[in-house]
Structures are given as C-alpha cells and as structure tokens.
Copies of this chain bind each other. A is one copy, B any other.
Amino acid sequence: MTHAVAADAVELLRRVIAAPAALHEPCFHGNEEQYVSECVRTGWVSSVGKFVDRLEDQLSEYTGARHAVATVNGTAALHVALLLAGVQPGDEVIIPAMTFVATANAVVNCGAVPHFIDIEDRTLGMAASVLRARLSEVTRLHDGTCINQQTNRRVAAIVPMHTFGHPCDIQQLCETASEFGLPVVEDAAESLGSYVDGRHTGTMGCLGVLSFNGNKVMTTGGGGAILTNDESLAVRAKHLTTTGKRPHRWHYEHDCHAFNYRMPNINAALGCAQLEQMDKFLAAKRRLAATYRATFQDAAGVQFFDEPSGCRSNFWLNALRFTTPGSTMRDSFLRESNDAGLMTRPCWTPLNRLPMYDQCPASELPVTQRVFESFVNIPSSVKLAESD
C-alpha cells in the first residue's frame, strides 16, 4: 500500500535527481588514475610506499590533528584506538545505540562489551544529557576507576559518533566524560570535512578515527585512519597496526601482540588523489543539500534533516524525517523509491535490537527507536550536484 506522504516525497526526490541513483558513489576526477598507475609502474603497491606517508601528512594537515596513522579500514582504526585508550577485555565501552554495527564490533574485538546510550533529535548523535544521567545512575568511582555497579564491569571509554556526517554534541560529551574520568574516542568514520566551532571532528577526543570505505565522502577502496594529538599514542598506533615489528635492517622481531592493519600503498594513492579534491566534494555536497532543503521546505509530513547549529556538516548522507508516528511512511517510501531506481535506506537497525547485542547494558532508547522508524537516507553522491 502506498501512502500519499511517501508518494509525494518520492515525487519531490525525483525533481532533484534522475533515476537511477545510488546512495553514495565515489567521484574520481582528479589524479586517482595517475597515482594508482604510478604504484603499479614503480612496484610500490603494498605495505611500504610514499603514498601512505603522504596521505598521513595530508590527513594531519587537513584535520588539524598532529598525527594521522593510515589503516586498512575504519573498523581496524577504531579497534586499535580503543586499545590505545586503555580498553581491556571485560570492560564496557559506551557507544550510541544508533551507529553502524562496526562501532560495536570494534568494542567486541577488544574483548569488551558495548553499553548503549540514546541519541538526541538535534544531532542524531549520543545525547550528553542521557550520558550524564546514565553514568550518574549506574556507575560509581572506586579508586579512580568508573565501575558499572549493575554489571561490576569497568567503564573504559566513550565513543561518540557523528551520524551521517553531522557533528554530535562532542563538547558536552567530552565534558561529561571528563567528569567521570573517561577517555573519549571519536568515531568520525562518516564526518571527514565536518567541523564543530571550526575544529575538525575526530580531533576532540584523545583519539579519533576516520573511514575511507567506498561509500564515504572520499575513498581509498577500503581504508581508515587514527587521529591523535599525542605523539606517544601515534607511535604506538603505528606499531600496533604494523604487526608490532621492531625496526631492524634484517632481523624479524616483534614485541607485542599486534595487527596487520596497514593501509596498502595503492589504496593510499587513491586517497591522496581524493583528498586533493575534498573542497570540491564538500562544496558539491553542500549544494545538493541546499537543493534538497529547498525542495522539501514546504512538504507535508516530511522534513529535510539539516546540520546542527554551530556546526559545519559534510552532508555525507542526506536524510529525511517522516513526521507521522511509526514506520509506515518510511517503509512505503523505501519501497517506492527503491522500486523507482532511487536508492534509499533506513537508519541502521538499533544495535540493541541485533541478536548479538540485545543483552548489552543500555539506557532507555526512545529517541533511537523514533529516529529508526522515521528517518531515511536519500541519494547523496557528489556527482548529483556537479551540474550546478
């Protein structure tokens, strides 16, 4: 059954973009082919090569983080960032209930347990007020350690995430974390090019992580990075992501359990070319968002989700919110738009509703549930705005 509000929303979508349209396609109009070919011609495609170093330098310069360590993907970056923040087996790590499943998987990769906090309507990120209330309610400080009294597990870190590229309330979240003595690892997988008060997302916790998966603002095929201002953390990040090998001209000695999480040089080559075009990408995405904003301005029953005030978003994935309670309108829209060749999708299923995470500790999650039922993402590729 088709609902008028959903049908009208699909019709408005058609005014902005022609079918077929993917959700987010990469755009390779720069030096991608040249740099990648250079890797093949010189033979430097793998774990060592100038593009890895160059990408790390460029990411550091771009984000303002003192150090950037390239990794094989964003999950790998988050796994190692959590370890560097001190997460140990049996700990709890606080994450929003509404995020890509990789955020929780990285916690489990450390042997730790996710603890879900509700999100807020304004940013779609973790709600600082809920975080404070939840920590006050369930934790106590024992010898300087934050213990969840309901589970007897140590709470080891807080991982805010910038949903769809829109910055969350990172400053309030960092303040709350600080009150409880908890480190913040910022999951900026979706928010390269997004800023809060002029500071790049991913640079406000003790560590931050980026993702360059194929659906992100810029891509390396698969890839990610760890950001930090702390040199010793950066050195350890490099060591842990490169099998923990001690430098030597010929000996093979490794001094800790570590990971093969290096970004190959050929993927870094792609990334260098992409990062050169970020200003152009972000401008195009902002134009597309402006078009969506104008198009849906007077629509009944559906709203364009705009960047939070005080923030500059990369508008990674544009989103619409249906105002009718429940998921009927969303489901009708998803069916009709996808049938018409316009790729749209709902939010991720809230993590507390997935079978492997449904027993994890959590705050009440009413906003998460409401956002899940009412939001959809709509096509957001750079190329959809290029003709402007």
Contact = CB atoms under 8 A, between A and B. Distances in A.
B346 A251 contact: yes
A236 to B, nearest CB: 15
Interface string A91-135: 000000000111011001101000000000000000000000000
A256 interface: yes
A40 interface: yes
Interface string A1-38: 00000000000000000000000011110001100110
Contacts of A345: 250-252
Main secondary structure of the interface of A (DSSP, over half): loop
Interface stretch (A73-81, A143-151, A225-233): A73-81
A332 interface: no
A73 B267 CA distance: 13
Interface residues of A, number: 70
A270 interface: yes
Contacts of A214: 45-48, 264
Given A36-B36, A252-B345, A73 B72 contact: yes
Contacts of A39: 221
B215 A257 contact: no
Interface stretch (A191-199, A282-290, A349-357): A349-357
A313 to B, nearest CB: 21
A325 interface: no
Given A43-B26, A43-B28, A222-B47, A101 B243 contact: yes
Contacts of A252: 100-101, 345-349
Nearest to A256: B356
A219 interface: yes
A245 B219 CA distance: 21
Given A46-B215, A267-B266, A102 B37 contact: no
B265 A102 contact: no
Interface string A328-345: 000000100010000111
8 contacts: A33-B37, A72-B72, A100-B252, A104-B257, A222-B262, A249-B338, A251-B345, A266-B266
Given A111-B111, A256-B355, 10 more contacts: A33-B40, A37-B37, A47-B213, A101-B252, A108-B257, A250-B334, A250-B338, A251-B345, A252-B345, A266-B270
